[in-house]
Amino acid sequence: MAESIIKKPNNGMPANLADYQKCYTGFDWSHPSGPSLSGLPGGGVNICFEALDSHLDTPIADKLAIRWISKQDQVVDYSYRDLCEQTSRFASVLKDLGLEAGARVFSLAGRRPELYVAALGTLKAGCVFTPLFSAFGPEPIRSRMEIGEANILLTTRNLYRKKIKSWWHELPHLQAVLLIDGSTDDEPGCHDLPQLMQAADPQYPCVATRPEDMALLHFTSGTTGKPKGVVHVHQAVQYHKLSGYYALDLNESDIYWCTADPGWVTGTSYGIIAPLCLGVTMIIDEAEFEVERWYRLLQQQQVTVWYTAPTAIRMLMKAGAAIREQYDLSALRFIASVGEPLNPEAVSWGYSTFGIPFHDNWWQTETGGIMIANFASQTIKPGSMGQPLPGIQAAIVGRNECGQLDKLTSPMQIGELAIKPGWPSMFRNYLHQDEKYQHCFDGGWYLSGDLAMCDEDGYYWFIGRKDDLIKSSGHLIGPFEVESALMEHEAVAEVGVIGKPDPVVGEIVKAFIALKPNFEPSDELLRSLQGFARKRLGAAVAPKEIVFRNNLPKTRSGKIMRRLLKARELGLPEGDISTLESDEQ
């Protein structure tokens, strides 16, 4: 734990959460402080209305909402009024295709304007939006669409031909594919989205959704079984707006860049919804990370608030200070990080490099919004996740001798991080997995599955996950999903997958493979397995390292012991191996 405490200057601007203790202790969800919702004119709540339509009769209406920058540096601007009309057209398209409120619209695309329009237009139509990460391979895409009972898929011609075309007609619920860049080749069920949009209604109104109507379906991987569909409702927008205001210190005057892809929950909650609800100007870059490009965009666009991931921060650190010194980044007043714990060195590096430190925060797909954060008005303890937001009751819990859940009150006790249920963006279910959902709650707490501790000042510190989930570049990867794909290769008898620490991306996926009797380890077979995995899973999920083993450690019930694989990989204590049946040695 870092001993130093950094006080963050806010470039002369007063912080939105000026008095943390006063706001936190006096907060009441029945009369919450901070920015409030407009609400639909006839009653109810709709995320798109809060993000766009509510601004139409205000000075924000003709303000720049989104500036999109293509890979080739083409710039396309959208005002709030422009976005409102475009989202109405998309909602109208869905209606014309026969979709009713509650239908599921999936997206598979990079950071293109049409994706952002579709996300909000889906919500305007009263339908459910589900973003998929475009780097996924065919199998992760298909499994999520099957579980989520997708009705419409929005994608590009290239992604469609590479990952979708051969199997989408087999999905019983999927009615149509909308191609962002048109040219359907007259294939039945495929539609040229630009043509549909041109003929659609630019004044299509928001559907009168209720606070508890399903709005967002995000998928998160598990250590066993299939991916889980995390259900969020329209009421979540109340917390998106509030947390963007308090945790990211967003104001109408800000130029804001959230680097997260919308396929990741951060890219939806804080890359679309929260900033638009607060009337800011968003920067969206289509291109992937590149050091000089990022610094150039920060300078050219005069970004004031920047929300990024530890992987990118570490890559910037690796590039050195000399590159940074070529750019004027004085407009920056608040920088934040999310996705995995930010090491103390990165916080301090931000302070020495930008004159302001990175503000780490903690939340999950299930929480729907930032739960714990380092605030603009508060001192920073490098390495800490920060303190709970107003309205959020957090605690470290453990089980007593009777197996009951107890709150651990002594400073720096390690236990499970828990949140008191009731905040607006709390997930409402795992789709079709009610029992698994109920297991997330015990003793009046939501159990996060993360181990942490709390110091004497109320700052929380991340320790590690209770399960085997792998976090790589901010993306959660379920080992079971990777193992299942590799098992389909003709040479594979058994496979175990772990996350191996990596200084740049946090963790890489490493696979241990036992071969069938008629196969022998070779460089050729290794290349075959790597190509097979990339084709099935996509580059973001496929193993970066594969090693061969004669046997894998298993319990007597036949379960491969990932924990033991990881302990041996990292030279850690093996712990209890009393249930071990076979070994890799």
Q: What is the C-alpha separation between 576 and 469, in angstroms, rounded?
A: 20
Least confident of 39-43, 54-58, 141-145, 316-320: 316-320
* DSSP, res 374: -
Q: At 3, is the pLDDT very low, low, confident or very high (cuts 50, 70, 90)?
A: low
Q: With pLDDT > 70 as the criterion, what percentage of the chain qualifies?
A: 95
- Apex 383 CA angle, 280 and 240, nearest 5: 30
Token pair of 265 as six digits: 């929950």
Q: With pLDDT > 90 as the criterion, what percentage of the chain qualifies?
A: 72
Q: How does pLDDT run across 370-423, given as a tens digit for each residue?
A: 999 999 999 999 989 999 999 999 999 999 888 899 999 999 898 999 999 999
Amino acid identity of 429?
A: N
pLDDT reading at 580 higher than 80:
no
Neighbours of 97 (CB within 10 A): 15
Q: Say what the pLDDT of residue 211 is.
A: 98
- Domain spans in the chain, listed from the N-terminal domain onward: 76-241+263-277, 470-582
Q: At 585, is the pLDDT very low, low, confident or very high (cuts 50, 70, 90)?
A: very low
Query: Yes or no: is domain 470-582 CATH 3.30.300.30?
Result: yes
Q: Say what the pLDDT of residue 1 is.
A: 47
Encode 53-64: b = buried (16+ Cβ within 10 Å), e = exposed.
bbbeeeebbeeb
For the chain, the average pLDDT equals 92
pLDDT reading at 582 higher than 60:
no
The residue that leads in pLDDT, 474 or 300, is: 300
pLDDT reading at 265 higher than 60:
yes
Q: Say what the pLDDT of residue 359 is.
A: 96
Q: Is the dihedral of CA 338, 342, 346, 352 positive or negative?
A: positive
Q: How does pLDDT run across 48-94, given as a tens digit for each residue?
A: 999 999 999 999 999 999 999 999 999 999 999 999 999 999 999 99
Least confident of 41-50, 99-108, 117-126, 499-508: 499-508
Least confident of 80-84, 102-106, 112-116, 517-521: 517-521
Q: What is the C-alpha separation between 495 and 485, in angstroms, rounded?
A: 10
pLDDT reading at 256 higher than 60:
yes
Cβ–Cβ under 8 Å, residues 145 and 171: yes
pLDDT reading at 485 higher than 80:
yes
Which range in 10-19, 241-250, 574-583 is most confidently predicted, on average pLDDT?
A: 241-250
Fold type of domain 76-241+263-277: Rossmann fold (3.40.50)
The residue that leads in pLDDT, 577 or 473, is: 473
Q: What is the C-alpha separation between 51 and 129, in angstroms, rounded?
A: 15
Comparing CA positions, the residue from 263, 260, 297, 293 lying closest to residue 275 is: 260
Q: At 562, is the pLDDT very low, low, confident or very high (cuts 50, 70, 90)?
A: confident
Encode 406-430: b = buried (16+ Cβ within 10 Å), e = exposed.
eebeeeeeebbbbbeeebbbbbbbb
pLDDT reading at 434 higher than 90:
yes
Amino acid identity of 12?
A: G
Q: How does pLDDT run across 198-247, given as a tens digit for each residue?
A: 999 999 999 999 999 999 999 987 555 678 999 999 999 999 999 999 99
Neighbours of 339 (CB within 10 A): 24
Q: What is the C-alpha separation between 210 and 233, in angstroms, rounded?
A: 9
Residue position matching structure tokens 């293509």: 70
The reported pTM is 0.87
Could you please report the per-residue DSSP string of 414-481? Answer: -EEEEE-S--TT---EETT-HHHHHTTEETTEEEEEEEEEE-TTS-EEEEEESS--EEETTEEE-HHH
Q: Say what the pLDDT of residue 469 is.
A: 78
